[in-house]
Protein backbone atom coordinates (compact mmCIF):
# COMPACT_ATOMS: atom_id res chain seq x y z
CA UNK A 1 0.00 0.00 0.00
CA UNK A 2 1.34 3.41 -0.96
CA UNK A 3 1.10 6.54 1.17
CA UNK A 4 1.44 10.02 -0.35
CA UNK A 5 2.36 13.23 1.44
CA UNK A 6 1.50 16.48 -0.37
CA UNK A 7 1.13 19.27 2.20
CA UNK A 8 3.86 21.87 2.57
CA UNK A 9 2.27 23.10 5.83
CA UNK A 10 1.53 19.78 7.58
CA UNK A 11 4.55 17.62 6.75
CA UNK A 12 3.09 14.52 8.46
CA UNK A 13 -0.29 14.86 6.72
CA UNK A 14 -0.96 11.78 4.60
CA UNK A 15 -2.88 12.88 1.48
CA UNK A 16 -3.65 9.43 0.08
CA UNK A 17 -3.63 5.81 1.15
CA UNK A 18 -3.45 3.75 -2.00
CA UNK A 19 -6.01 5.41 -4.28
CA UNK A 20 -8.13 6.77 -1.41
CA UNK A 21 -7.90 10.49 -0.62
CA UNK A 22 -7.96 11.84 2.95
CA UNK A 23 -9.67 15.22 3.42
CA UNK A 24 -8.56 17.59 6.20
CA UNK A 25 -10.01 20.68 7.84
CA UNK A 26 -8.09 23.96 8.18
CA UNK A 27 -6.56 22.83 11.50
CA UNK A 28 -5.06 19.70 9.97
CA UNK A 29 -7.63 17.25 11.37
CA UNK A 30 -8.70 14.44 9.04
CA UNK A 31 -12.43 14.78 8.32
CA UNK A 32 -13.08 12.17 5.61
CA UNK A 33 -11.50 8.81 4.80
CA UNK A 34 -13.21 5.94 2.98
CA UNK A 35 -16.84 6.02 4.12
CA UNK A 36 -15.98 7.52 7.53
CA UNK A 37 -16.47 11.10 8.67
CA UNK A 38 -14.42 12.34 11.63
CA UNK A 39 -16.04 15.03 13.80
CA UNK A 40 -13.77 17.23 15.93
CA UNK A 41 -14.58 19.28 19.04
CA UNK A 42 -12.49 21.80 20.95
CA UNK A 43 -10.10 22.12 18.06
CA UNK A 44 -8.18 18.85 17.94
CA UNK A 45 -10.24 16.50 20.14
CA UNK A 46 -11.96 13.70 18.24
CA UNK A 47 -15.66 13.85 19.08
CA UNK A 48 -17.00 11.01 16.96
CA UNK A 49 -16.55 8.92 13.85
CA UNK A 50 -19.57 8.19 11.71
CA UNK A 51 -20.09 6.16 8.60
CA UNK A 52 -22.93 5.68 6.17
CA UNK A 53 -24.13 2.17 5.44
CA UNK A 54 -27.18 0.80 3.64
CA UNK A 55 -29.35 1.44 6.72
CA UNK A 56 -28.40 5.11 7.19
CA UNK A 57 -25.87 6.73 9.52
CA UNK A 58 -24.20 4.59 12.13
CA UNK A 59 -21.99 6.06 14.88
CA UNK A 60 -18.87 4.26 15.98
Please provide the average confidence, as pLDDT, over all residues in the chain: 77
Taking the model in full, what pTM does it have? 0.65
Q: What is the pLDDT, as a whole number, of residue 20?
A: 77
pLDDT of residue 41: 93
Q: What is the pLDDT of residues 4-60, one digit of tens each?
A: 656 666 656 677 777 777 888 888 888 888 888 999 999 889 998 888 777 776 666
Predicted local confidence at residue 57, as pLDDT: 63
SS3 per-residue string spanning the chain: CCEEECCCCCCCCEEEECCEECEECCCCCEEEECCEEEEEECCCEEEEEEEEECCEEEEC
Amino acid sequence: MDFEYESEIWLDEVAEIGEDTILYDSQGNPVKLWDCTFNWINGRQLGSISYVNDDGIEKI
